[in-house]
A and B are shown apart, each in its own frame.
Chain A
Amino acid sequence: GAVVSQHPSRVICKSGTSVKIECRSLDFQATTMFWYRQFPKQSLMLMATSNEGSKATYEQGVEKDKFLINHASLTLSTLTVTSAHPEDSSFYICSARAPGQGGSPLHFGNGTRLTVT
């Protein structure tokens, strides 16, 4: 089946530094990927839609200059959290839709647990 790989799975960084998270579709091409954030005991909140070869589309309230998204190829999207603060600590999950499947469900990466100290 469709596989989405996300790296790293866990990262701890200091306030003010930047962190890059990679999301790869391993066995299919994804022109569109989605980035979600999940706080403890809450549901997934869509942050942005990543479009290959063009600018990402951000949801209302998400700062595009803080959460930089690059989708340079059909199999790779990156999310960079710039000037991280403790309140950015969260579970970040990427997803992509494999073409041709019934209903085309999203397939999720394993997520990245970000802790900002």
Chain B
Amino acid sequence: GQNIDQPTEMTATEGAIVQINCTYQTSGFNGLFWYQQHAGEAPTFLSYNVLDGLEEKGRFSSFLSRSKGYSYLLLKELQMKDSASYLCAVRDAFGGGATNKLIFGTGTLLAVQP
């Protein structure tokens, strides 16, 4: 079966650093994605990991350990506009490349406080 877990909610302070964890157990693996979603809007792509290690993109970094079924998203220099849901998603490995499904985790609602 597919199981992707994240903390439900987190709170952090403006200017600080926050780490959002994601653990997964899936029948196949072909990459892990992080998305940001503001309330009532569509998700927007943040980062992608397919090999172990850290990927850095500006204030956002994402880490993957395939052997542990674990990833985290690191947000630095938090801003108020970072208050949103953060979704971890795993792409399965079945079928052709374009048909690989993206399975989403439960999402983490981050509240950034002044």
Residues of A within 8 A of B (CB): 6, 31-32, 34, 36, 41-46, 49, 51, 57, 91, 93, 95, 97, 99, 102-111, 113
Chain A-chain B contacts (Cβ-Cβ < 8 Å), number: 57
Stretch of B10-18, B67-75, B76-84, B103-111 contacting A (4+ beta carbons < 8 Å) = B103-111
28 contacts between A and B (CB under 8 A): A6-B42, A31-B98, A32-B99, A34-B101, A34-B102, A41-B109, A43-B87, A43-B107, A44-B87, A46-B101, A46-B103, A46-B104, A49-B101, A51-B99, A91-B40, A95-B102, A103-B31, A103-B48, A104-B97, A104-B98, A105-B33, A105-B48, A106-B45, A106-B102, A108-B44, A110-B41, A111-B41, A111-B42
Prevailing SS type, chain B contact patch:
mixed
Please name 6 further chain A to chain B contacts, defined as beta carbons within 8 Å, in addition to the given A43-B87, A45-B104, A46-B104, sorted by A numbering.
A32-B98, A44-B43, A46-B102, A106-B102, A107-B45, A111-B41
Q: How far is the CB of A23 from chain B (nearest CB, A)?
A: 11
Q: How far is the CB of B68 from chain A (nearest CB, A)?
A: 20
Interface residues on B, range: 20 to 34
Residues of A within 8 A of B50 (CB): 103
Q: How far is the CB of B35 from chain A (nearest CB, A)?
A: 8
A49 and B103 alpha carbons, distance in the complex (Å): 12
